[in-house]
């Protein structure tokens, strides 16, 4: 509310007296006009004060609405922050699980690589064994061929021995016959010799 302005000190401020009573002031009409002006000014100030009060109430209502909206926004922000923290925790857990899975995958890969190396070594060993077996087989086949050749030679030698044996038997038989013939001839010679001796 606007403060009343100071008036000229030559004018005396007076109160309004009831009708029928004498005013103690000598300038009653001049004071009455000033009083009306003051009243009019007071009424103007009162209207302005009411308008200011109404505007203040509207501003207060708007401020309360803004405060309520701010509180709602703060509550929503707190809920969003809580949700964000939950999501962050879940993300951290997922990251930890992913890191564990990655570590397990790396270990599995390392184990697979070791198994592959071991398998390649076994394959190389198997190939070497196969080569050695093929060499042994080839050597065995050569030995078999040599054995077959030796057997064939033995068979030929046996056949030759049998033939030689047969020839020896024939020669022996012929010698026996010659011996028998020689013995006959010898006996005949002795008989002839004895007969010659006797005559």
pLDDT 10s digits, 165-194:
999 999 999 999 999 999 999 999 999 988
Q: What is the pLDDT of residues 103-117, one digit of tens each?
A: 999 999 999 999 999
Burial class, 163, CB count within 10 angstroms (exposed 0-12 / middle 13-18 / buried 19+): exposed
Q: What is the pLDDT of residues 3-25, one digit of tens each?
A: 444 444 444 444 454 455 455 55
In this predicted model, which residue has the larger pLDDT, 142 or 12? Answer: 142
Alpha-carbon span 51 to 165, nearest angstrom: 161
| The token pair that represents 196 in the structure block | 């010659």
Handedness of CA 68, 71, 77, 81 (dihedral sign): negative
**Rounded mean pLDDT, 88-116:** 98
Q: What is the pTM of this model?
A: 0.45
Alpha-carbon span 35 to 193, nearest angstrom: 224
Q: How many helices (H) and strands (E) does the chain have?
A: 1, 0
**Rounded mean pLDDT, 119-145:** 98
CA angle 133, 134, 137 (to 5 degrees): 85
The maximal CA–CA distance of the chain, rounded, in angstroms, is 248
């Amino acid at each position: 509310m606007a403060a009343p302005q100071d008036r000229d000190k030559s004018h005396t401020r007076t109160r309004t007296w009831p009708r029928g009573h004498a005013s103690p002031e000598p300038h009653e009409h001049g004071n009455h006009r000033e009083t009306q002006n003051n009243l009019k000014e007071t009424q103007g100030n009162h209207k302005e004060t009411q308008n200011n009060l109404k505007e203040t109430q509207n501003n207060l209502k708007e401020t309360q609405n803004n405060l309520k909206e701010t509180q709602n926004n703060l509550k929503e922000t707190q809920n969003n922050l809580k949700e964000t923290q939950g999501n962050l925790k879940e993300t951290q857990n997922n990251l930890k699980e992913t890191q564990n899975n990655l570590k397990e995958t790396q270990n599995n890969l390392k184990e697979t690589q070791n198994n592959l190396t071991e398998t390649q070594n076994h394959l190389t060993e198997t190939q070497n064994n196969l080569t050695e077996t093929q060499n042994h087989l080839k050597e065995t086949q050569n030995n078999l061929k040599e054995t077959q050749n030796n057997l064939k030679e033995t068979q030929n030698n046996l056949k030759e021995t049998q033939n030689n044996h047969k020839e020896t038997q024939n020669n022996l038989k012929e010698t026996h016959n010659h011996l028998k013939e020689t013995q006959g001839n010898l006996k005949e010679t002795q008989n002839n010799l004895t007969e010659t001796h006797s005559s």
